[in-house]
Amino acid sequence: MEGGPAPIHPSLGYEFAREEEARAAASDLDRRFTESELAGLRIYRVRWNGNYLVEAAFSKGTPEARLEDARALLGESGTPVHPDDLTDYKRAREERTGLPNWLRRLFE
């Protein structure tokens, strides 16, 4: 399927204690991987603990050795996040729109 988006591997997620560490790791990934390998790269702030998540999505054509390189790079200062936890965090982030229900009820 030429011209279309590349199929994506499950994302790698790593948690960092400081924003600078997360940004540096994401920047390193962006420099070391080609656009055809690195399909997506995001940094999230975790509201409940103040940490930061780096999510890196790789295309299906990315060799396993390159994924291991990414894990090693992210693991230098980050902690791996289980794929289910990353999915749950993203789902909670998407569902979080507007005011929380308990606060909304105060204004009714």
State the pLDDT at residue 68.
96
Domains and CATH numbers, the chain: 12-100 (3.30.70.60)
For tokens 């204004």, the residue is 107
Q: For 91, how many CA atoms within 13 A lie in the half-sphere containing its CB?
A: 6
φ, ψ for residue 49, nearest 5 deg: -130, 0
pTM value? 0.77
pLDDT tens track for 66-102: 999 999 999 999 999 998 888 888 887 776 555 555 6
What mean pLDDT value characterizes the chain? Answer: 85
pLDDT at 1 over 50: no
